[in-house]
A and B are shown apart, each in its own frame.
Chain A
């Protein structure tokens, strides 16, 4: 029984990464209608950014948590301005193929320069060590990841669903021409939204740098699962992707305990089941 609690908690930790990443995807899909396959590569860039901040400028984990999402976010906005914006109104496939190509190029470039084994990044001193919870040894850093990503997820949800800015944004997706008539710069808003989604990916990258090796393919390994999370949660649904992210982390954690061989397929089995029963995803509305 104790072991089960431990697995639940570990699942929650992985779930926070799924939630952060799928949230970014949901924001981008919901507002821009782009299936952002470059998300994994941007997550990886966030981790690399943290590594370079530490080794080139001496800035540690805490500044990286703010700077890396901004730097990668700006990179994302450049992508949006120079390439993605021309795809507005076209079929989803175009966006998917373009971002997939971007991901391959970015990963290839990083792999060419840094190899596949990855680079080390240490846990910040303040978060080293762990506590004994009775049923498991919880590394403090992992606890921090869960709490912090939960806060970020809820803040993002609040920003989009409950503030004036978010309302404008949603309106701009619904009817861009009308919103423009109110004097709101819609293209700029779209660019900023893409930047926000990308920033969330980079943030997840920084969070994961001390846990995993900083590797060029770290995002490629994760992105497919995250897409499954988004599909299960309902494409474009903010709250849906947060909840599904955490829930799937837990389910995957339990699978790792009961039948570890299936742990990398369980998410997809669930995806198939959900699509059979409810094609729009758990919280999605019919288009």
Chain B
């Protein structure tokens, strides 16, 4: 009898504990899934994990009784590996939210998984605009940039400046195809023409064959619909083959500050492209970037992907706090995130649209000449700003099922 009573008491206590925990669960687990070892590891990688760590510290949630865990893994740019890790994270490790998830192929794969498992993904690295278009999901927020925005900003500016014939060098996978498609639409809409395109395998080291074809096309603009090491090698070899000297202009459709740093200003000067974050934009970005680079091993300034991880998590934490606890329900959390305005030092005031698209301004930058730069990482001149409401694909053109028309 005595044993029964104690068992009963124990059971009741346990049940009470569990209900209490359900009402006010303050445990959060964050997984940064990124490229830690391949060609994109400088623009995401360890820097993304650091940005997440800084967001956790700056949120001040630990002092309010929250327990926030952070794990990270290398997806090696392979969708199958990424899916395996993410599945294990969500099922076994009880990860609530996936951050970064760069590489469009990986991003789209994880997009499906996160929806199936009702978790959350704030994607700051994948470029494909499909994440908030045909493939949009109630569990995904696309934070930093997308191919539509890049094409819109850079493409329009270049056509306006007289670059009305284009030839594309395109990375042969989801991202390159999306970027080429979106840029082609903008070029044609602005009155330009696409003369040709050549698709190269991801991670090529030699671009001379492709550059010769671009040169022979006599297009005014050679659009690089690729990223990372592919872009830097293209730019370097284009200068070798006299593409720019011959009167053609290179258009970097997706370039990151880490690429410019690695190329050096001598080679990169004069390139025009679009980003949504630059460390030297204002006091807020400068303060964050200073703290960030001090903690980076190679003292690098944050890329927009890494800045997005910080900014996205700050909003996520704000949302959880407003909800009074972690409900471990992806759709509910993302819905709440969409209903709250975003505001942080890095991307300024903004919002998240119903299709999951984060809205903020896009900046058109030109790379400085070596003599204009005051020191390491002083690379960009701001030459134009597209306001947030015009930068991204309008909802009226959206194929996303979440958008009610």
Instruction: List residues of chain A with CB under 8 Å of any chain B CB.
Output: 2-3, 6-7, 10-11, 13-14, 108, 111-120, 122-123, 130, 136-137, 139, 141-142, 211-213, 215, 217-218, 221-222, 253, 256-257, 260-261, 263-264
Q: Is the CB of B258 within 8 A of A218?
A: no
Asked if B81 lies at the interface with its beta carbon under 8 angstroms from chain A, I say: no
Closest to A14 in B: B206
Q: Is the CB of B261 within 8 A of A139?
A: no
Give, as a whole number of angstroms, the nearest-CB distance from A139 to chain B.
5
Given known contacts A10-B208, A14-B206, A118 and B229 CB-to-CB distance under 8 angstroms: yes
Q: Is the CB of A137 within 8 A of B215?
A: yes
Give, as a whole number of angstroms, the nearest-CB distance from A142 to chain B.
7
Expressed in whole angstroms, the Cα–Cα distance for A156 and B261 within the complex equals 39
Q: Which of B16-24, B239-247, B270-278, B317-325 contacts A (4 or more CB under 8 A)?
A: B239-247
Of A10, A117, A222, the most chain B CB neighbours within 10 A belong to A117
Q: For chain B, residues 191 to 216, give those with C-beta under 8 angstroms from any C-beta of chain A.
A: 198-201, 203-206, 208-210, 212-213, 215-216
Q: Which residues of chain B come closer than 8 Å to A7, judged between CB atoms?
A: 209, 212
Q: How large is the interface on B (under 10, 10 to 19, 20 to 34, 35 or more residues)?
A: 35 or more
Q: Is the CB of A256 within 8 A of B242?
A: no
A and B contact pairs by CB, cutoff 8 A, 29 listed? A2-B216, A10-B208, A13-B208, A113-B297, A115-B262, A116-B38, A116-B40, A116-B45, A116-B229, A118-B232, A119-B262, A120-B266, A130-B240, A139-B241, A142-B208, A212-B205, A212-B236, A213-B236, A213-B263, A221-B203, A222-B205, A256-B200, A256-B210, A260-B198, A260-B209, A260-B210, A261-B172, A263-B200, A264-B204
Give, as a whole number of angstroms, the nearest-CB distance from B118 to chain A.
34
Give, as a whole number of angstroms, the nearest-CB distance from A205 to chain B.
12
Given known contacts A3-B216, A137-B241, A211-B240, A116 and B205 CB-to-CB distance under 8 angstroms: no
Q: Is the CB of B262 within 8 A of A139?
A: no
Q: For chain B, residues 224 to 258, give those with C-beta under 8 angstroms from any C-beta of chain A.
A: 228-229, 232-233, 236-237, 240-242, 246, 258
Q: Is the CB of A115 within 8 A of B300?
A: yes
Asked if B12 lies at the interface with its beta carbon under 8 angstroms from chain A, I say: no
Q: Which residues of chain B come closer than 8 Å to A142, judged between CB atoms?
A: 208, 240
Expressed in whole angstroms, the Cα–Cα distance for A115 and B209 within the complex equals 27
Q: Is the CB of A123 within 8 A of B229?
A: no
Q: Is the CB of B213 within 8 A of A3?
A: yes
* B38 partner, pick from A6, A14, A136, A217, beta carbons under 8 A: A217
Expressed in whole angstroms, the Cα–Cα distance for A141 and B300 within the complex equals 32
Q: Is the CB of A116 within 8 A of B42?
A: yes
User: What would 7 more interface pairs be, CB under 8 Å, given A2-B216, A117-B259, A117-B261?
Assistant: A115-B262, A115-B300, A137-B215, A137-B242, A212-B237, A218-B205, A260-B199
